[in-house]
Structures are given as C-alpha cells and as structure tokens.
C-alpha cells in the first residue's frame, strides 16, 4: 500500500517535471514555430540566477518564482532582438542559430561561474510514508506545474493579451491590419517563453547539481514532449508529458533509472513514427 | 556540371597529392591526421544534407558506432582489416534500418531531426551505463564512461605486427579521404546522385515522376553513415581509445556547424569547414582567456545571420563576379545560387 502511494507520487512528479521543463518550449515552438535549441541553456541560466540570488541573501521562493523568470526573460528578449527576429519563418536556420546560442551561453556560464558543480539545498523537508522517505519538494513541483498549466490556459483563453497573441501567431498580417504590431507581439511572446524556461530551471535548481552544461539534459526531453504533444498547446503538453512520465517511471521502478530514460526515448521514437503530427493532431482536435 | 568524371579524378588526385606534400610542412602530421578525419566526417553529412536534403542531427551516432565497432572487433580479432570493413558496414546497416523506419513513415524536417537526435542520445546513455564487467562483447569490455582503450591499431593487411602509425598513418588517411571524395563525386555525377538532388529540390515532383523517393533517401542516408563510420574507425586509430563522448550532442552539433560554415551543397565546403574549425578550436584550446564553446557558438550564430550559404559558395560567387567572362553564365549562376538559397531557407 505504501509502495503504491510512493509510486503514484513519483509518477505525478515525473509528469509535473516534464510539464515544467517543456512549458517554455511549448510557447516558443508551439506558438511561434521557433525551434529554440537554447531552451536548455535558458533553464540553466534560470538555475544560476536563483543560486546567485540566494547566495546574495534573497528569500529562496522569491528568487525562484520572481527573480529567475525575469532575468531569463530579459536575456531571451535581448536574444530575440539581436538574433531570432531576423530568422522568423526560416525553420532550419533558427534551429542552427539557437544551437549556436546554446553553445554561446554554455561558454559564457563556464567563464562566469566556472566548470564546477554548484547547488542549493531544498527548502522543504522530506517526510515518511510507512517505510518510505519522500522528498517534500516533489509536491512543490507538482503544485507549481499544476498552477502553471491553469495559468497558461487562463491567460491564453480568457484574457485579451492571450487572444491577441494567438491571433498574431495564426495570421500576423490580419493582426497588423487590426492595428497590433506583430513585431512587438512576437517579442512579448518570446519574453514569456524564456521566462517560463527560466522559472523551470529555477524550480528544478535545488534538485540537481548545476553545471554550465546542465541544459543538455533537458533539451531532448522537452523537445520530445512538445513535438509529441502536437498542435494544441496545453492539451498536447499535458497528454504527452503524462504519457512519457508514466512510461519513464514504470520502467524506472521495474528495472532501473537508466532503462527508464531509454524507455522514454524509445517510446518517443515509436510514438513519432505512429503519430508524426503529435498526439493532439489525432485526439482533442481544435482544443487549446 | 560541365566537367567530366575523368577530369574530376585527375583534379582530385592532383590536389590530394599537392596537399599531402605541402601540408606537413605547415604543421605536424599528428594534428593533420585528425583534421583529415574530421574532414571526412564533415563530408559524410555534407553528402546527405547538402545534396540529399536530409538534416541529420545524429551524424555523431554513426561516427561513434564506427569507432566502437572497430575497437570491439579489433580486440576480438587482433588484426585490423576485418574491423575496418565492419566499421563501415555496421553504421551503414544501422542507418539503413533507421532510415527505412523514418522515410517509409514519411517523416520530414523537424521530426527527422528529433528522431536522429533521440537515437544519438539513446546510444550515448546506453554506452555510458555499460561500466560493469557484465557488459562484454566477445573479449571486449564496453567500459562505460571510461571507454575502450588498448585495441589493435591499424596494421598492414595480413601482418598484425606491422603497425601503420605516425607519418605513414597520415598518408593512409589523406589517400582515403581523396578516395572517398572521388567516390562522392562519382555518386553525385551518376543518375542516383542527380535524382537525389532532385528529391532535395522537390520531393513530390520526383515521386510523381515515378522514382521511389523513400528507398533512394534510405540508400543515401546509409551511404553517408558508411563514410561517417569509416571516419570513426580512423579516429579510433588516431586516438587509440574510444569513449562515449563520440556520441555526444556536442559532437553532432560540431558536424552541423562545419557544414554550415563550409557551405552546403558543395563537396569541398564541409571538408574545409571541418578542418578549418577543428584547427581553430585546436589553436583556441591553447589559450584560457575565452572559453572555446563560446566562440564556436558565436561563429555559428554569425554565419547563420550573415553568411547562411557558407564560405565556399560565397567565395565561388565572388570569383565568378570578379573574373567571370561571359555575363550570360554569370546570370545563370546567380539564378542557381538563388534557388539554392531558397532550399536552405
């Protein structure tokens, strides 16, 4: 009985962390069709922003939930103005340019923070269920991921800003004709996407030892999740994160963590082969 | 293409011979050998991406697979001829299976990129986790993170004790690169190569003309993997150790950067890009002021923004504009460059 509870919590946690690491990319790739291979590095920068802020004496929750997203959002804004806005609509070129950016950020972080592992301790203590110890921080991540999904859904569906953003992504010429500047909307959307990446990196920072190359660990997973999700932003994110998270945890508990990771990747290959347009191209059509 | 195949062969032989003679005067053959190996790796992606339009994010997978196949086979056999052949065949077969799965599923663009990326990651994770003594293939321990050291390096076929190393190994690699370059030229000149370019330009049209696009893409993909596997085996011989970092994403990224910087849709571009950037990295590695990765990244970003066609096509068009005699040809060339720019974009 205790074991089942533990496994359930771990599964929820796996799904939640997948949602978290993919949310930023879902906005940037799913909405703007910009393949941001520097997504992992944005997360890495979010982690470093948190750790730096905490070391300067800022409250850890403030650093994670407010400072890191803003810092990374601004970095994303600068990137968008300097590089990415010249490449909208050129899929392969954005992919290559952002790959260059990711290497650039890795180099930058190595120069500033050094090639050593840094970290902070988790702010929430663990507790026990029967014979098992559970990390209390996992619940925090589940809650953040849940709130994130609800927040994104609300903003996109029921605010004017979300409506304008969605409209501009669909038909930028119509948005321009109605008096909105697509250039600015793209800029703002990219800011939001980067801020989400920063938030994810910050929230996950206490769980991992941070090195400048940490981003590489996230990028493949987040990509798989977003692409397998398909055209609908939030439904896709939720279903594919759910699917991959569960596959990962089942194999982790049954065999070993490494096999769990490999199983996730194999599942992704099989899924893409069967549903090349993603899950939501077939199910939940037309939902947000 | 105006020139004939025999002229191509003569040019290749001449240029290779001159370079083999001149280059060792400039820098050590040890460095040159690895530059040649990288050049061959660049050419392998240049073939399938530049001429076949298949953007593979996992060319490093075939490179690493070639290197590991060579190492494992060399330990088990104790002679280098069969392992060299296997190092070409195994990646080619693997690529044919993977390619068949992707192309017969009509996957394109991003999905292709993601799947090749994921397969590279799977190999990387798997090899990394094989540190225990239970992971043996024949007599070879896979060694996980530490890689496989101490295998038989290249020897004269049939004489396991006559090693080819140092200067003579450099000559072997240089000649092999020349041979591969010529084979690639011949392939591109054949009807198969022309149809491959046709598929790159317009896949639907080629399939409507009755060509089996999926089979042709699969074969081209396998050919690229075979070249990458050969480069991997040569690299294993040069480094005398194979490690999982051969499969890493950084390695894949570098191959793509070489092609972009050198020039897509040319045979020479990826080779020059690979050798040039690898040499630059070698020089930068000797200083500690600025991080190496930062500069690599910056180069890629700047090239995508300002010179997306790469160095070799840019130089070629500059040459034609400055020295081209007949204006008719110039216009024709510009038109061709334009259409090339379109598929890159």
Q: Give A172-202 as a DSSP string.
A: HHHHHHTT--HHHHHHHHHHHHHHHHHHHHH
Task: List the single residue in B125, B297, B344 with the smallest CB-CB distance to A261.
Answer: B125
Do B140 and B215 fall into the same domain? yes
Residue B344 lies in domain: 310-345
Q: Residue B309: is it exposed, middle or buried by C-beta count within 10 angstroms (0-12/13-18/19+)?
A: buried
* Nearest Cα residue to A268 out of B200, B176, B117: B117
Q: What is the mean pLDDT of residues A214-223?
A: 84
Alpha carbon separation from A175 to A33, A189, B295, B320 (Å, rounded): 17, 14, 39, 44
Task: List the single residue in B109, B122, B257 with the smallest CB-CB distance to A262.
Answer: B122
Do B316 and B278 fall into the same domain? no
SS3 (DSSP) at B118: helix
Task: Kindly compute the dihedral angle of the four CA atoms of residues B61, B66, B67, B71, in this order, to the nearest 10 degrees.
Answer: 130
Task: List the single residue in A102, A223, A276 with the smallest CB-CB distance to B107.
Answer: A276
Number of structural domains (chain A) is: 1
Do B66 and B171 fall into the same domain? yes
Which residues from A are below 8 Å from B105, CB to CB?
Answer: 273, 276
What CA–CA distance (Å, rounded) separates B343 from B53? Answer: 9
Chain B residue whose CA is closest to A224: B114
Say yes or no for a CB contact (<8 Å) between B305 and A258: no
Which residues from B are below 8 Å from A95, CB to CB?
Answer: 110, 113
Instruction: Give the distance from residue A124's alpha carbon to the nearest chain B alpha carbon, in angstroms.
Output: 31
Do B319 and B260 fall into the same domain? no
Alpha carbon separation from B245 to A168, A228, B128, B249, B252 (Å, rounded): 43, 27, 9, 8, 10
| Per-residue tokens: A177 | 């004709």
> Please, which pLDDT band fits residue B344 given cuts at 50, 70 and 90?
very low
Q: How many CB atoms lie within 10 A of CB B109?
A: 13
Angle between helices A257-274 and A233-254 (to 10 degrees): 140
Count of positions (residues) in chain A = 288
- Lowest mean pLDDT across A39-48, A140-149, A195-204, B149-158: B149-158
> Please, which pLDDT band fits residue B38 given cuts at 50, 70 and 90?
very high
- B131 to chain A, any CB pair closer than 8 A? The answer is no
SS3 (DSSP) at A128: strand
Residue A120 lies in domain: 2-212
* Nearest Cα residue to B55 out of A43, A96, A103: A96
Q: Which residues make Cβ contacts (< 8 Å) with residue B239, sequence separation at least 6? A: none
Domain annotation covers residue A228: no
- Lowest mean pLDDT across A243-257, B181-195, B289-303: B289-303
Task: List the single residue in B110, B113, B294 with the smallest CB-CB distance to A108.
Answer: B294
Say yes or no for a CB contact (<8 Å) between A92 and B117: no
What CA–CA distance (Å, rounded) separates A257 from B112? Answer: 27
Number of structural domains (chain B) is: 2
Do B324 and B278 fall into the same domain? no
Domain annotation covers residue A41: yes
pLDDT at A134: 79
pLDDT at B332: 58
**Do the Cβ atoms of B260 and B304 come closer than 8 Å?**
yes
Which residues from B are below 8 Å from A110, CB to CB?
Answer: 291, 293-294
Alpha carbon separation from B337 to A48, A259, A288, B201, B277 (Å, rounded): 44, 48, 42, 13, 24
Q: Which residues make Cβ contacts (< 8 Å) with residue B190, sequence separation at least 6? A: none
Distinct helix (H) and strand (E) counts, chain A: 12, 2
What value does the mean pLDDT of chain A take?
88
Domain annotation covers residue A196: yes
Chain B residue whose CA is closest to A259: B126
* Beta pairing partners, A129: A132
Do B239 and B137 fall into the same domain? yes
pLDDT at A286: 67
Chain A residue whose CA is closest to B342: A90
What's the DSSP call for residue B163? B
What is the rounded radius of gyration, in angstroms, for the C-alpha atoms of chain B?
Answer: 20
Which residues from B are below 8 Å from A266, CB to CB?
Answer: 122
Contacts 24+ apart (CB under 8 A), B181-185: B181/B12, B181/B16, B181/B43, B181/B267, B181/B271, B182/B8, B182/B9, B182/B12, B184/B43, B184/B47, B184/B227, B184/B267, B185/B5, B185/B8, B185/B12, B185/B267
SS3 (DSSP) at B212: coil
Do B133 and B159 fall into the same domain? yes
Buried b (16+ CB within 10 A) or exposed e, B118-135: bbbbbbbbbbbbbeeeee
Greater model confidence, A89 or A63: A63
Which residues from B are below 8 Å from A262, CB to CB?
Answer: 122, 125-126
Which residues from B are below 8 Å from A276, CB to CB?
Answer: 105-107, 111
What CA–CA distance (Å, rounded) separates B124 from A220? Answer: 13
pLDDT at B338: 58
Residue A128 pLDDT > 80, yes or no? no
Q: Which of B304, B344, B345 is the mutation pick for testing A, counting most A CBs within 10 A?
A: B304
Query: What pLDDT, in 10s, does the model give residues B270-328?
Result: 999 999 888 888 888 777 777 778 888 888 888 888 888 888 888 888 888 887 665 55
Do B331 and B243 fall into the same domain? no
Domain annotation covers residue A273: no
Do B317 and B296 fall into the same domain? no
């Amino acid at each position: 009985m205790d074991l089942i509870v533990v496994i359930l919590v771990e599964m929820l946690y796996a799904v939640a962390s997948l949602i978290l690491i993919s949310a930023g990319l879902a906005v940037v790739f799913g909405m703007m069709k910009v393949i941001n291979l520097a997504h992992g590095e944005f997360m890495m920068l979010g982690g470093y922003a948190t750790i730096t802020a905490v070391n300067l004496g800022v409250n850890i929750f403030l650093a994670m939930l407010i400072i890191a997203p803003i810092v990374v959002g601004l970095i994303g804004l600068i990137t968008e103005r300097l590089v990415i806005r010249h490449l909208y609509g050129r899929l392969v070129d954005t992919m290559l340019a952002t790959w260059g950016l990711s290497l650039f950020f890795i180099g930058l972080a190595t120069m500033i923070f050094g090639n050593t592992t840094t970290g902070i301790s988790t702010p929430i203590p663990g507790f026990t269920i029967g014979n098992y110890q559970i990390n209390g921080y996992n619940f925090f991540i589940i809650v953040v991921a849940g709130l994130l999904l609800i927040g994104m859904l609300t903003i996109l569906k029921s605010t004017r800003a979300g409506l304008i953003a969605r409209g501009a992504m669909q038909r930028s010429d119509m948005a321009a004709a109605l008096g909105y500047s697509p250039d600015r909307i793209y800029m703002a959307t990219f800011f939001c996407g980067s801020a989400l990446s920063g938030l994810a990196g910050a929230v996950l920072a206490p769980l991992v030892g941070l090195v400048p190359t940490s981003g590489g660990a996230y990028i493949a997973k987040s990509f798989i999740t977003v692409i397998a999700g398909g055209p609908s932003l939030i439904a896709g994110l939720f279903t594919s994160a759910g699917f991959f998270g569960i596959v990962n945890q089942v194999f982790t508990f049954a065999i070993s963590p490494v096999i769990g990771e490999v199983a996730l990747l194999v599942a992704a290959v099989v899924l893409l082969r069967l549903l090349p347009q993603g899950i939501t191209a077939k199910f939940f059509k037309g939902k947000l | 293409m105006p020139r004939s195949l025999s002229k191509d062969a003569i040019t290749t032989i001449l240029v290779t011979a001159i370079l083999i003679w001149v280059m060792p005067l400039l820098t050590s053959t040890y460095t040159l050998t690895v530059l040649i190996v990288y050049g061959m790796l660049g050419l392998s992606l240049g073939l399938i991406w530049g001429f076949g339009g298949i953007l593979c994010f996992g060319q490093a997978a075939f490179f690493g697979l070639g290197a590991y196949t060579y190492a494992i086979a060399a330990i088990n056999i104790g002679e280098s001829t069969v392992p060299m052949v296997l190092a070409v065949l195994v990646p080619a077969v693997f690529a044919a299976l993977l390619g068949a799965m992707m192309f017969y599923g009509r996957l394109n663009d991003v999905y292709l990129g993601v799947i090749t990326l994921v397969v590279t990651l799977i190999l990387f994770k798997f090899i990394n986790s094989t540190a225990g003594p239970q992971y043996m293939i024949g007599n070879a321990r896979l060694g996980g993170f530490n890689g496989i050291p101490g295998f038989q390096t290249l020897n004269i076929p049939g004489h396991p004790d006559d090693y080819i190393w140092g200067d003579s190994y450099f000559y072997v690699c240089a000649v092999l690169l020349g041979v591969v370059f010529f084979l690639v030229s011949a392939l591109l000149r054949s009807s198969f190569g022309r149809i491959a370019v046709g598929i790159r330009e317009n896949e639907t049209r080629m399939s409507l003309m009755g060509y089996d696009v999926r089979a042709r893409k699969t074969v081209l993909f396998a050919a690229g993997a075979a070249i990458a596997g050969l480069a991997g085996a040569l690299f294993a011989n040069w480094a005398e150790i194979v490690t999982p970092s051969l499969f890493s994403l950084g390695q894949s990224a570098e191959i793509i950067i070489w092609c972009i910087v050198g020039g897509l849709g040319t045979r020479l571009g990826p080779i020059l890009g690979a050798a040039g950037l690898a040499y630059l990295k070698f020089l930068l590695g000797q200083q500690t002021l600025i991080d190496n990765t930062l500069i690599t990244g910056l180069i890629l970003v700047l090239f995508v923004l300002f010179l997306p066609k790469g160095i070799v096509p840019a130089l070629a068009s500059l040459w034609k504009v400055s020295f081209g005699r007949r204006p008719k040809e110039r216009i024709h060339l510009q038109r061709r460059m334009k259409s090339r720019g379109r598929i890159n974009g």
